[in-house]
């Protein structure tokens, strides 16, 4: 069996941005696709000039949104019986289902943003949004915003890692030390979340000043 990064390399080489979109959509629905690895690889290829900058970003965003939307519609139309029946075929255990459902019930809409950084929850958050009959406009506002942040973090990580590291050596490290990936994912997610929170607070403060100036 070929190492996974060789398979991803071949798909991106043959199909480019279109292959990226399809793989991401499939990974979010539940296929065994290493989404973060794929995004980092695509970011590296953007830096090398092997993938177009704008096309790759749009493809990654489209694939993420398509995958989330399909998962939402499956939850909305077919519900939990489908998940219990086909979950094991997609390596989604009962433990994953219970954990994801508890997280969604506790945190609600926020899970659609933070769930991208948690394998298992990424595949199920949109599904539970459909099961709970969340209005599509609410689902889309949170899920599509989360997708934009998520792809930006990992495409950006791959793009900037391309300046300082050997791509093959980097993925050899992940292949020989798979336990490192959750830590890298968590760190990248924390950096991305911090950036978003900082941006939000900055704009909120600016808006408050503008609003107060109008009231004076």
Are residues 51 and 12 in contact, defined by beta-carbon separation less than 8 angstroms?
yes
What tens digit of pLDDT does each residue of 4-15 get? 666 777 888 788
Q: In terms of Cα–Cα distance, which of 36, 33, 60 is closest to 186?
A: 36
The mean pLDDT of 33-54, rounded to a whole number, is 86
Distance CA 28, CA 150 (A): 12
Distance CA 33, CA 137 (A): 28
pLDDT value for 123: 78
Q: Given pLDDT bands bounded at 50, 70 and 90, which one contains residue 203?
A: very low
Q: In the predicted model, is pLDDT for residue 178 greater than 50?
A: yes
Q: In the predicted model, is pLDDT for residue 189 greater than 90?
A: no
pTM, full prediction: 0.69
Token pair in block for residue 112: 């659609």
Half-sphere exposure of residue 39, counting CA atoms within 13 Å on the CB side?
A: 29
Distance CA 182, CA 168 (A): 19
Comparing 48 with 53, the larger pLDDT belongs to 53
Distance CA 133, CA 143 (A): 15
Contacts of 78-86 with CB under 8 Å at 24 or more apart are: 79/131, 80/131, 83/124, 83/127
Comparing 62 with 95, the larger pLDDT belongs to 62
Q: Given pLDDT bands bounded at 50, 70 and 90, which one contains residue 32?
A: confident
Angle at which helices 167-176 and 180-215 cross, to 10°:
110
pLDDT value for 207: 41
What tens digit of pLDDT does each residue of 91-126 get? 667 777 777 777 677 777 888 888 888 777 787 889
Q: In the predicted model, is pLDDT for residue 209 greater than 60?
A: no
């Amino acid at each position: 069996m070929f190492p996974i990064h060789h398979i991803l390399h071949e798909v991106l080489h043959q199909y480019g941005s279109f292959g990226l979109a399809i793989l991401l959509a499939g990974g979010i629905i539940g296929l065994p696709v290493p989404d973060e690895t794929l995004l980092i690889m695509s970011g590296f290829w953007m830096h090398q000039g092997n993938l177009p900058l704008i096309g790759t970003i749009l493809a990654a965003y489209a694939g993420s949104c398509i995958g989330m939307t399909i998962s939402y519609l499956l939850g909305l139309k077919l519900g939990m019986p489908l998940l219990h029946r086909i979950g094991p075929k997609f390596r989604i255990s009962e433990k994953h289902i219970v954990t994801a459902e508890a997280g969604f019930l506790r945190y609600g809409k926020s899970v659609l943003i933070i769930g991208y950084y948690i394998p298992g929850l990424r595949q199920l958050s949109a599904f539970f949004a459909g099961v709970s009959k969340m209005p599509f406009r609410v689902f889309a506002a949170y899920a599509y915003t989360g997708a934009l942040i998520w792809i930006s973090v990992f495409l950006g990580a791959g793009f900037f890692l391309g300046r300082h590291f050997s791509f093959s050596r980097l993925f050899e490290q992940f292949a020989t030390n798979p336990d490192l990936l959750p830590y890298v994912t968590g760190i990248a997610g924390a950096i991305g979340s911090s950036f978003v929170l900082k941006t939000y607070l900055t704009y909120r403060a600016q808006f408050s000043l503008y609003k107060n100036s109008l009231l004076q």
